[in-house]
Structure 1
């Protein structure tokens, strides 16, 4: 059969990235206790396309993905990028895997257990060398220091999202980044709380007010002190409860420089 994708293209324009996106795919990830968690990912895979080729071979992306049976590790992601380059005759490749990750949490007083969802992104690429980042988005609570200071009683508080993305030289677990985010907020949030837990969380946040700027800086301090982190990006978005807008703060640091 005629290979239309390999036809010569005369427009002389290389394409940075071409591939497949919005691929819903079952995956398996490992937790620190070496348990396997089954979840469903949204996968994007891409390669660079030289100027001389009309198109890429889309089916080969899924063939490469299928070879790894959905098991996602740092090592398997590197091999995926290597195989994409080889099978598609490309100078560069990348894969992005976005998935929900669940951690079984205990309420702070009652000890009631429930699963909390965290959104995770693994991004890997291979051009001159292999590159990998892990991003974790963590729901937290923030309580406004200004509101607490100026009010005779009470203070406005709201849910916020802390997103931490890292390049690492040694393994860092998803759970570790969750702990960093929650420890820098006014309070963690939980799926299941009894009344005594609700009292505890409310009072914990009130005694620990945080601007988005406070959260970003405190997270940055912790990541600066972690020798496993080479590069990081932190952003916090607070879903304001008394304003018709959100507040945010963000920063990026490259510790290699």
Structure 2
């Protein structure tokens, strides 16, 4: 019986069009990973995206090898010591470059992290789910990695609150409380419409950062945190707290960046920061979004009164090691 003909390596063959691709790979791969948070290891469900730069003379990448490498890297973590999510992303990206003979690989891991905390008044223990984000890019000149979180909170709209306050003042004057109107408004929370917000904070650095610290920064950047479990005293606290600290979506982005840099003074000038806030509107059919990104040096300079950078360094630029303007 004659031998079967050898199967060709189709991925290494010539493509129909000689054009390099910026990204090619797999997305939405579901895996269970074990991550270290402080002194504890937690098993989490994670979604992994991985891409490589594809040369103009290469038809495709070996897609089946991506999940194999994920499993190898994850098995090392599960069987050995738990890693930080950004370190795991870095490990996978470096292995992809080596195994796929790629010039560059980029990996993004989003894990669902159960965070336990207590309600603000009754002190009941509750579990909140935070997205833990690890991003890494590896190439011939080494690798860069990013750690981040996405957390939920509530924002009370300052604009609507100011309108309600002005109308309430008019009504108090009409009812004969003119002399006491201002004092009454200081004592009574002023109504406004609320927005549930999703805040994201990414930090590109070699320093080890705690995800719980980052999620706290994101939550404090909004008008008030939210809780899965709330008794009536807790609900009253959250509502009053939110209305005493009204914030726009833009305010949350700026506050998060300021607190990050104030609480982490050891961040290097060349490190990267991205703050993003999306608020789900309640009185409009659309949602609202705000973002700021840049190196720590760019942002520090502006916070200290300097002129904004001509071009703010993007996450893509930073991961590729491109110089800022």
Q: Answer whether TM exceeds 0.5 for this pair.
A: yes
Partner of 1:115: 127
Partner of 2:281: 240
Task: Give the gaps of 5 or more residues in structure 1.
Answer: none
Q: Distance in 2 between matches of 1:160 and 1:76?
A: 28
Partner of 1:212: 249
Partner of 1:17: 23
Larger RCO, structures 1/2 (Cα 8 Å, 6+ apart): 1
Partner of 2:184: none
Shift of 1:256: 4.1
- 1:140-184, CA deviations, whole angstroms, 9 ceiling, x for partnerless residues? 111122222232242222211111111123111211111111122
Partner of 1:62: 67
Give the ranges of 4+ consecutive aligned residues of structure 1 lying more than 6 Å apart after TM superposition: none
Give the 3-state SS of the residue equivalent to 1:47 in structure 2: strand
**1:1-257 mapped onto 2 (5 Å cutoff):** 1-2=6-7, 3-9=9-15, 11-32=17-38, 34-69=39-74, 71=77, 72-73=83-84, 74-127=86-139, 128-151=141-164, 152=168, 153-225=190-262, 226=264, 227-228=266-267, 230-257=271-298
Q: Distance in 2 between matches of 1:75 and 1:120?
A: 12
TM-score, structure 1 length as denominator?
Answer: 0.91
Q: Quick check: which one's helix share is greater?
A: 2
TM-score, structure 2 length as denominator?
Answer: 0.73
Aligned length: 256
Change (3 A) 1:79 1:160: closer
- 1:64-88, CA deviations, whole angstroms, 9 ceiling, x for partnerless residues? 1111235353444323222111111
Q: Distance in 2 between matches of 1:77 and 1:213?
A: 30
* Higher gyration radius (CA): 2
- 1:24-81, CA deviations, whole angstroms, 9 ceiling, x for partnerless residues? 111111112x211112111112222222322222222122111123535344432322
Q: Is the 8 A contact 1:10 1:52 kept in 2?
A: no
Q: Is the 8 A contact 1:172 1:228 kept in 2?
A: no
Q: Is the 8 A contact 2:223 2:245 kept in 1?
A: yes
Question: Please, what is the CA RMSD of the aligned residues?
Answer: 1.9
Q: Quick check: which one's strand share is greater?
A: 1
Task: Give the gaps of 5 or more residues in structure 2.
Answer: 1-5, 78-82, 169-189, 299-325
More displaced 10-residue stretch of structure 1: 151-160 or 188-197: 151-160
Shift of 1:10: 6.4
